[in-house]
Structures are given as structure tokens and as C-alpha cells.
Chain A
Amino acid sequence: MMSGIYKHLKSAYKRARGLQKPGKSLEIYPDDIFLVSFPKSGNTWTRFLIANLRFPNEQATFDNINRLLPDTTATPKRVFESMPRPRIIKSHECFDPRYPRVINVVRDPRDVVVSQYKYHQKIRKIEVDSPIEKFVTRFLNGETCPHGSWGQNVATWLYTSEGSPRYLQLRYEDLIADTPRELEKVAKFLNLPTSPELLAQAVERSSADEMRKMEKQQDHGLYRNSRKDMTFVRAAGSGGWHKDLPMEQAARIESAWGGLMHHLGYELETIKPQEAPEYAAFGTATNIPR
């Protein structure tokens, strides 16, 4: 009983000071822009890129990123209320009709699963010797995070919003291949002033090397109790799954989501696209009125 009352008092105090994390209760403004993705799809890198473009006078770091480009589950409510508008907000949620404009970063699920597998080792959610087969099973079932499976999370955005002028879809792989080109798409979508110099500065300030350096120097709370022999900023590449993911495991992912992967331009290696669930019939995306 006492601990219950204490809990209520504590949360009431936090509420009164605006210190609680808003999560899904975040009050959304009509000019908000959301940066969404399934976890481990390059969200943090894109977050740095966009923050560095949006705030060219303040380099994004692991210390200030929750203020510059806040996270619904990590940034206190009062920061959301006092920050300059339009706000750009990070979230891993599945489709939410309240989000006025959305940038969605998708990544090859074969790379995502490897990244999440290693990340969960780092944050001690699983043992370092835990077999990857087991992880793939949980990954396919959507049990490795509270945001649905990769297929569900991507499907809810793609199927509801593809073709809408309020929706920008980026592939992590394209961002890697030509960062300034993709970032320019973002700038256009956000109506941000841009020049080759500004783009270059944002890219430079968010480079993998730069982010690795900052990760070492900065004590960002999220990873405080994690393994220091593994890094948050890892390979920062695409196609790394060839090295870390056994072909049988890749095959399981392709047979579950091959159609969706093919639609996104991820080459299937264990089945032919014709054998994969077929997605080519999506004829009308551009007709979605928003």
C-alpha cells in the first residue's frame, strides 16, 4: 500500500514538473514530423544527419540528441513543449494516423536481425553465446522488441502510406551509398534550406567515424550499463549479414517476408522472387488522399 502511494506521488510529481516521458500520450502538433523505423535500421544515424542539417550551429552528440531530435520514450514532456517548431521526433512505432508527416527508414531485415542480435548482447538482453537461430525465431515472431515484427512494422507504414505526399521512405542502403543525395531528399521534404556545404557538413558531422568517437567520449544514459567491449555504432554498412547470418537463417527470413523485401528492392538469395509472396500488384498508391 505504502509503496503504491509512493509510486503515485512520484509519478504525480514527475507529471507536475513535466519530467515524464510522453510515449504514446505525446500531444502531437499539426506541423510535427516523425522519423520512424523498426529498431536497428539506421534510425540513430539518420537522426544525427537530420539534427545536424536542422541545427547547423550545434553539432549533434549523444548528449544533446534527445533534445535536438527528441524520442517519445526518452525525452521528457517539457522538452517537447518548449522546443522550436516544427519539431522532428523520433519513434519506433508502427503506423499511427496521428503523425502528420513521416520519414520512414527501412533496412534489409537480414542486416537488421544481425544488428539487433549484437545489440541485445551489448545491452545484456541475451548472452554472447546465445545461438542466432533462436534469435531469428524470436525476430520472425516479433518478440525481440515491442514494436511488432520487422514485417509488421514495415508493412503498416508501407501499405498505409506509400505514395502519399506526406510520407518519405528511405532505404538505409541508399543512405549509405549516397548520403548527400538522400539527405537532400529529406531537406526538400522538410523544406529546410540546403546547399552542398550544409549537406556536406551534416554528413561529415554524422559520419561513422565521428559517431564512434563521440560514443567513446560521451556518457549517454541509454547504454550506461551495457557491455563496453561491444559498440553501439557498429559496422555502419550494408550486406554484412553475408558474414554473420548462416544461409539457413537468411532463408527463413526470405520465406517469411520475401515479397515485401523484393518490393523494397532487397535481392533474394535463397528463393526466386517469383516464389516469394508477390507484391507487384500495388497499383494505386498514388491515389491515397491525405
Chain B
Amino acid sequence: MLRRIKLAAKRAAGLDLAGRHYAVYPDDTFLVSYPKSGNTWVRFLLANLIHPNETVTFANINHLLPAPGVITRRFLKTVPRPRILKSHEPFDARFKKVIYLVRDPRDVAVSEYHFDKKKRYIRADTTLDEFIKPFLAGHTSSYGSWWEHVASWAGARHGNPQFLLTRYEDLLTNPIHETAKIAEFLNIQADEARLKAAVERSSADKMRKLEKQDADKWTGTKNTNKDIPFVRSAKSGGWKESLPPSCVEQIEVAWYPLMNFLGYELQSQELDHKALPIWAKAGQST
């Protein structure tokens, strides 16, 4: 009963978390990805791009580029439009303009494994071999499996001019070029110097420093195991060293058409390297 009254009071004051239940405006842009796909990095990149005169930190990122899942409804109302919001939701028809960030699922698996340990979602002695089955089934995340997430977004929106598909790996190899594409998508006029500054200020080294400084002020790292960093390797292809071959095989067998489509080269010789998901050749208009 007391919990209910507290909740009702919070609701009345707008102090409850916005979660999934908030008004979406037609001029909103969403930065969407499956968890552990480089979302926080791109969030910093964008915040630095949009606010060249502010110091973006883990303490203020939730204000500069809000995630409705962790901010209050009242604060969300004060965010100036047009808003850019961060989300991990699978397909949501209300999101019209979307930057969809995708990452090699073999790297996502390793990243999520470490993150879940940091968050103490899984036992400290869980092995990757034990982790991979629930990961494939989508049981390690409340946003579904990697396949479901990417398929729901790419399947419904691929080819739409209001949908920008960005690979984490391309951002790593060619950050200025990829950031320029995002800036253009957002109608932000940014010259080379501004792009460079944004990339530089969001580098893995800078972010590691910021994490040390502010780990207790950010929802992503608060009350977690500080022995495991949030900003980890910030690399692509790390799975080649750390993911057991049996796990690689399971991921590829389950998801290879989608990996082909995204250009993530398969290790396996048995699988058809040309198979694509059904929407991939479709010139869908929506």
C-alpha cells in the first residue's frame, strides 16, 4: 500500500521514469541499438558534436542525450526540441527518424558477457560457453535476442530514408567519415574541425578517464563491480581471441544470413556466405 502511494506521488510529480510511456514527437530522432553495440560511445560522439562548448561526461550524458528508460518524465518534458533520444527498444512504430547502430554479434556476445558480470547479472564464474545459449535465445536481455532486434528494425525500415544503418566497425575504422554521415542525417552543419573535435573528445582513452572520475554518477556504472570497466577494449574483432570456437559456430549457424547482410564475415566454411535475410533485397517503401 505504501509502495502504491509512493508511486502515485511520484507519478503526480513527474518523478517516475519515463520508460516506454512517453510522448514521442514527429521531430524526434532516436539513436537505437541492441545493448553493447557501441551506443554509449556514439552517444558521446553525438553529444560532443551537438554541444561543442560543453564537456560531455558520464555525469551529464543523461541530460545532454537523454535515455527515456533512466530519466524522469518531468525532465524529459524539459528537453528542447528537436530531441535526440537514446533507446534499446526493438522496433517501435512511433520512432520515425532512427540512427540504428549495429555491431558484430560475436563481439556483442563477449561485451555483454563482461557487462553482465560487472552488473552482477550473472555469476562471476559463468563461462562464455554457458553464456552463449541464453544469449542466442535472447534471455540475457529484456530487448530480445540480437537477431530479433536487428531483424525487427532492419526488416521493417531497411531502405527508408529516415533510417540510417551504421556499423560500429565502420565508425571505428573511419570515425570522421561515419560521423559526417550521421551529422548530415541530423542536418547538423559540421566542418572537418568540428567532426575531429567530437571524435577526439569521445575517444576510448578520454572515456576511460571520464569513467574513473564519474562511475558513481551514471546509471550504467553505479553500484557495479568496479574491477570490470564499462569502457572495455573499444575494438572490433576481439571475439577472435576471446570467444571459444564452439560459441562462434553457434552464433554463425543461428544468424548467418543477417551477418552476411551486414558484412560480418563468417568463420565457417560450411555455411552459405551468400544467403541473405528475406528483406535484404527488398526495396520496401516504408
Contacts and interface: CB of A to CB of B under 8 A. Distances in A.
Interface stretch (B67-75, B135-143, B177-185): B135-143
A151 B143 contact: no
Contacts of B234: none
Contacts of B156: 94, 148, 151-152, 155-156, 159
B281 A94 contact: no
Contacts of A224: none
Interface string B11-27: 11000000011000000
| Residue of A146, A152, A160, A263 contacting most chain B CB atoms (<10 Å) | A160
A181 B253 CA distance: 34
B151 interface: yes
A155 B157 CA distance: 9
A12 interface: yes
Contacts of B93: 94, 142, 146-149, 152-153
A279 interface: yes
Interface stretch (A194-202, A239-247, A281-289): A281-289
Contacts of A212: none
A160 B147 contact: yes
B282 A260 contact: yes
A278 interface: yes
Interface stretch (A48-56, A95-103, A113-121, A215-223): A95-103
A176 interface: no
| Residue of A16, A95, A260 contacting most chain B CB atoms (<10 Å) | A95
Interface stretch (B36-44, B57-65, B115-123, B269-277): B269-277
B91 A156 contact: yes
A152 B91 contact: yes
B155 to A, nearest CB: 3
Interface string B139-159: 000111101110110011100
Contact of A279 (B21, B147, B282): B282
B55 interface: no
B257 A94 contact: no
Contacts of A260: 279, 282, 284
Interface in B80-107: 90-94
Given A95-B90, A284-B275, A289-B136, A159 B12 contact: no
Tell me the dominant secondary structure on chain A's binding face. Answer: helix
A152 B149 CA distance: 14
A148 B90 CA distance: 13
Contact of B152 (A12, A156, A280): A156
A278 B144 contact: no
A15 interface: yes
B148 A16 contact: no
A280 B281 CA distance: 9
Given A97-B148, A147-B93, A279-B279, A289 B137 contact: yes
Contacts of A172: none
A97 B145 contact: yes
Given A147-B93, A159-B279, A279-B282, A95 B272 contact: no
A39 B199 CA distance: 45
Contacts of B210: none
Interface string B221-265: 000000000000000000000000000000001111100000000
A95 B91 contact: yes
A125 interface: no
Given A156-B155, A277-B283, 5 more contacts: A8-B8, A151-B284, A257-B285, A277-B282, A284-B254
The 10 closest A-B pairs by CB, nearest first: A97-B144, A277-B282, A148-B93, A159-B155, A282-B278, A279-B278, A152-B156, A256-B285, A159-B151, A160-B148
17 contacts: A8-B8, A12-B8, A96-B90, A97-B148, A148-B156, A155-B156, A156-B155, A256-B284, A259-B279, A259-B281, A259-B282, A277-B283, A279-B278, A281-B280, A283-B275, A287-B253, A287-B254
